[in-house]
Amino acid sequence: MASSDITLPLRHLRELLGRDVQVNVEATPVKEESRRPTPDEQTQTAKTQPGASRKKFHNDPERKFKQAKKRAEKVARKQADRGIMMERAQKYLGVGGYRFLNTVTEPVVLVCVDVEATERKPHVLTEVGIAILDTKLCAAAALPPPPRLSDGQGGGGRDEGLTEWWDFISAHHIRIQEYLHHVNHKYVQGYPDGFNFGESTCCARADLRDEVKKLLEEHTARGRRHVVLVGHNLRCDVEYLKTEGMSIRDHCQVIGEIDTEALYQHCFGAQSQTGLETILRRMLMPYRRLHNAGNDAVYTLRAMIGMALLGKVSVAKDETGSQGE
């Protein structure tokens, strides 16, 4: 007979079987007294194991109230920050009842940045667009604020009173030599060779930093002027530039930032992310060939000026009647 694990007493087994058997005798474990878990143990169980305690934890009305309160406070802070950003934008432009904001010695230079990159990873930079507005020139020209447009009223012109401001914008488009053949088309239709505001500049990827530095120094008195960065979802473009070892702050004195997405959310009460095309359509501003970095930089700066100068306006199409080509 094969040996087996048996927990009965050995003497009883021998009497029953009448022969010797090999038995592994194990001590019968003693059961511990059942006890109720402590409150700390209950809390730990609720955190680590799904069950009734955890459901009770999530359905706690007091906890839900605190979460809702935090969300409301976060929204209120964002709205306040957007209002402050709008006020500063108006001060920089000297509109909205403000004179030009002389933060230190003179009006600022607005530098709007936009980049384009390959749609597929590793998302390499292919274009850089820079639009520059020296508010010192605007102050010298004593440009009057345009009439407020409200739902089609105010003269009927989509860009009425704005083109005088746009004339002071200096537009630049830099293409990376190694990616001249690349055109985005999977998620958005790119127009790398469709710069609307002059001739594009080409440079090797290794020379991009020097090209941007040269451009900024030319418009900021070799970095002595104070600069305000402008962009649509500006942080994303700044991060892309960092991938090329470049920072606008390295070449000029940046004293502030204006994000057109935040301005739009302030003007129209939007909470979700909003594309540049949506803003241009809402502001009745003509546009053509978006997703060219140079064009986008110009249109973003125009949108910033428009939202600072104008009131609530209605939706429009681009100047060709299409959706951005």
Instruction: Give residue 320's pLDDT.
Output: 42
Q: pLDDT: is 184 or 320 the higher one?
A: 184
For the chain, give every domain's residue range. 80-309
Q: pLDDT: is 31 or 263 the higher one?
A: 263
Helical pair 260-268 and 61-93, crossing angle rounded to 10 deg: 110
Instruction: Give residue 39's pLDDT.
Output: 66
Lowest mean pLDDT among 64-78, 168-182, 282-296: 64-78
Is 312 a residue whose pLDDT tops 50? no
Is 298 a residue whose pLDDT tops 80? yes
Please state, in angstroms and rounded to a whole number, the distance separating the CA atoms of residues 263 and 16.
93
Task: Give the pLDDT mean for 105-132.
Answer: 92
3-state helix, strand, coil in the chain (%, to 5): 40, 15, 45
Q: pLDDT: is 105 or 240 the higher one?
A: 240
Q: pLDDT: is 35 or 257 the higher one?
A: 257
Instruction: Give residue 38's pLDDT.
Output: 73
Please state, in angstroms and rounded to a whole number, the distance separating the CA atoms of residues 14 and 8.
11
Quote the mean pLDDT of the chain. 80
Domain 80-309 grouped into CATH 3.30.420.10 = yes
48: how many CB neighbours lie within 10 A of its CB?
A: 9
Instruction: Give residue 100's pLDDT.
Output: 54
Please state, in angstroms and rounded to a whole number, the distance separating the CA atoms of residues 218 and 80.
35
Please state, in angstroms and rounded to a whole number, the distance separating the CA atoms of residues 131 and 300.
9
Task: Give the pLDDT mean for 215-233.
Answer: 93
Task: Give the pLDDT mean for 232-243.
Answer: 93
Is 12 a residue whose pLDDT tops 60? yes
Instruction: Give residue 325's pLDDT.
Output: 45
Token digits of residue 140: 């010298």
pLDDT bin (cut points 50, 70, 90) of residue 278 is very high
In 3D, which of 132, 227, 217, 214 has the Cα closest to residue 170?
132
- The DSSP symbol for 147 reads P
CB 37 within 8 A of CB 45: yes
Q: pLDDT: is 268 or 49 the higher one?
A: 268
pLDDT tens-digit readout, 29-82: 555 556 666 766 766 666 566 555 555 556 778 888 888 888 888 888 888 898
Q: pLDDT: is 151 or 123 the higher one?
A: 123
3 state DSSP class of 227: strand
pLDDT bin (cut points 50, 70, 90) of residue 189 is very high
Please state, in angstroms and rounded to a whole number, the distance separating the CA atoms of residues 254 and 152.
37
Quick one: 139 exposed, middle or buried, by C-beta within 10 A (0-12, 13-18, 19+)?
middle
Instruction: Give residue 259's pLDDT.
Output: 97
Instruction: Give residue 106's pLDDT.
Output: 75
CB 114 within 8 A of CB 300: yes
Q: How far apart are the first and last CA of the chain?
A: 89
pLDDT bin (cut points 50, 70, 90) of residue 7 is low
Q: How far is CA 284 from CA 44, 74, 101, 254, 281, in A?
A: 58, 31, 28, 30, 5
Please state, in angstroms and rounded to a whole number, the distance separating the CA atoms of residues 133 and 108.
9
Token digits of residue 250: 């390295």
Strand partners, 125: 117
